[in-house]
Amino acid sequence: MEKDRKYEFSWDLLGDMEQGRPNLGPLARLEVYRLMQFCFRDVIEKAYGSEEADRIFYEAGYLAGRHFYANLIGPLQDLNDFVAKLQNLLKELKIGILRVEEADLERGHFVITVSEDLDCSGLPEKDFEFCTYDEGFIAALMESFTGKKFVVKEVDCWCTGDRTCRFSAQAVS
Amino acid sequence: MDERTRLILSAFAHGRLPTGIPDDCLYAEELKALSEYLTGCYRFAIDISNGDLSNNYVGLRGMLAGSLKTLHANLRHLTWQTKQISQGDLTQRIDFLGEFSSSFNCMVESLDEACTALLHVSTHDSLTGLYNRGYFDAELLRVAGGRCFPISIIVVDLNGLKEVNDSRGHEAGDQLIKLAAAVLKGAFRGDDVVARIGGDEFAVIMPAAAEEVVQATMARVQQLVNENNALSLALGYAVAKTRHELKKSISLADERMYEDKRRQKGAAKSSGQKSPGPCKTESLQSNPPLSRL
């Protein structure tokens, strides 16, 4: 099965922007990104159901988070360095504004918020949290930094009427 | 619309939360839900205004609760940032609370400046601007645990300070100390720890410096001393290849500095001078050959 794969992710798939887009550059409108993501969601949900669609997006976020950490952040030892670097990167890449509410490395418990989130800020109100991709992404970042497995749950989301997305991350043994 | 419903709506319109909504009034279910929602938001707002940030009212949704949650999240983040600052992380800045942000950031910047100034005072010698004894000892411990071996230690004694103090006063003595400091600072690399560890004593840590590096540096010191007729220094050095040799290398460098001092005194006697001191430029190249540790 693994041998037959066509789309296994690697960082070089992001491409050489300077060579590939000498005139347009690396930036595109956020709506285009959302158009793709939400059409993926739609099709995946229709094919596999809501729960499975959420799981797939969590896993995709997790994969992205692992590569993001390996290529742009780590390895780091100090929590403050990790938080500062992550905050700067998320802001610089316009992914969102990260803030920390709780950071207990010993208990493996973190509460963070992301404002102006790439995926959901400005969306119409729904009855459910939306950022499953972000959950996986954050879980992979935490795991890459601490070496412990993390489960991340979005507890507040723009889509449930909140102006900021709040995530609870807990290390699991 | 019946009178009871009108009164209930009027209470809402005036910002009051009706105490009881009868089951049989018009839109009773919706009014109860509205009352419950507003009560939840009211309690949330009261908690925030009382500084109780422990409950984030997860189940409470919608735009009104959402705005309170944003404030709640900002205050929780501010709390975390303040804790970070109290633990010494002075890089924290805030950008989400308007005018409070700029005042807060000014406070942290002032704290940072004060800490930097205090740190400088606590690690530097006020007369020469070189590092002080405390910093030297701390750096010695730090490099001992690192990987920058071989480490060279140099011990330096300023000859003739007492004579200058006695004959020309302490101000002249201070000038001589400053001159010695400037010569040493100019001779060593930027990353070397050049410290004044006593009245007329100096010491230097040279990380990642083997015998040939320290010898070249001693030659630079010699050249600078030769250019300053007012200066005479006694020097000794030793090289530690491992952390176990570091303590011994300090004693050895010290012993060699005294050997150099005795040798200079001997040379001065035989040439008819009183002792090595200022206005005397003994050649440091005549230092006895220093064997490795």
The first and second tokens of residue A169, run together, are: 């991350």
In angstroms, the separation between the Cα of residue B59 and the nearest Cα of chain A is 9
pLDDT for B196-236, tens place per residue?
A: 999 999 999 999 999 999 999 999 998 999 888 889 999 99
B271: Cα within 13 Å, side-chain hemisphere: 12
Instruction: Give the three-state DSSP class for A51.
Output: helix
Q: How far apart are CA B83 and CA B5, in angstroms?
A: 50
- Taking CB atoms and an 8 Å cutoff, what residues of chain A touch B56? 155-156, 166
A103 contacts chain B (CB < 8 A)? yes
* Contact status, residue A131 vs residue A100, Cβ threshold 8 Å: no
Would you mind telling me the total number of residues written for chain A in this entry? 173
Cβ distance B70 to A166 less than 8 Å, yes or no, reads: no
Structure confidence at residue B289 (pLDDT): 37
- Bond prior to B288 in cis (omega within 30° of 0): no
Contact status of B91 with chain A (Cβ, < 8 Å)? yes
In degrees, rounded to 5, the angle at the alpha carbon of residue B249 between the alpha carbons of residues B243 and B252 is 165
Contact A161/B at CB under 8 A:
yes
**Which positions of chain A have pLDDT values less than 50?**
none
Q: Identify whether the C-beta of residue B245 lies closer than 8 Å to the C-beta of residue B150.
A: no
Instruction: Give the pLDDT of residue B274.
Output: 55
Long-range contacts of B112-118 (CB under 8 A, 24+ apart): B115/B90
| Domains located in chain A, CATH noted | 2-172 (3.30.1380.20)
Best of B48, B55, B56, B64 to disrupt the A interface (most A CBs within 10 Å) is B56
Which pLDDT does position B269 carry in this prediction?
Answer: 78
Distance CA A118, CA A90 (A): 10
Neighbours of B54 (CB within 10 A): 7
- How confident is the model at residue B290, as a pLDDT? 35
Question: Which residues contact residue B75 at a Cβ distance below 8 angstroms, ignoring those fewer than 6 apart?
Answer: B48, B53
pLDDT-flagged residues of chain B (< 70)? 272-293
Q: Which of B235, B234, B238, B262 is nearest to B250 (CA)?
A: B238
pLDDT at residue B276 in the model:
59
Residues facing residue B157 across a β-bridge: B201, B234
Its pTM stands at 0.70
**Residue entry with tokens 């940072």:** B112
Neighbours of A38 (CB within 10 A): 13
> So what's the pLDDT on residue A124?
87
Torsion angle in degrees (nearest 10) through CA of A114, A118, A121, A127: -90
Strand-pair category, B233-240 with B151-158: antiparallel
In this prediction, residue B291 carries a pLDDT of 34
Check residue B207 and give its pLDDT. Answer: 96
Going from the C-alpha of B285 to that of each of A26, B11, B179, B275, the distances in angstroms are 62, 98, 20, 18
Q: How far apart are CA B157 and CA B161, in angstroms?
A: 9
User: Chain B contact for A156, CB < 8 A?
Assistant: yes
Option in A97, A101, A162 nearest B76 (CB): A101
Size of interface A-B (CB pairs under 8 A): 61
Best mutation site among A88, A116, A156 for testing chain B: the one with the most B CBs within 10 Å?
Answer: A156
Amino acid at A37: Q
B84 touches chain A (CB under 8 A): yes
> Cβ–Cβ of A113/B77 closer than 8 Å?
yes
Across-strand partners of B194? B204
**H or E segment at B62?**
none
Contact in structure between B175 and B231 (CB atoms under 8 Å): no
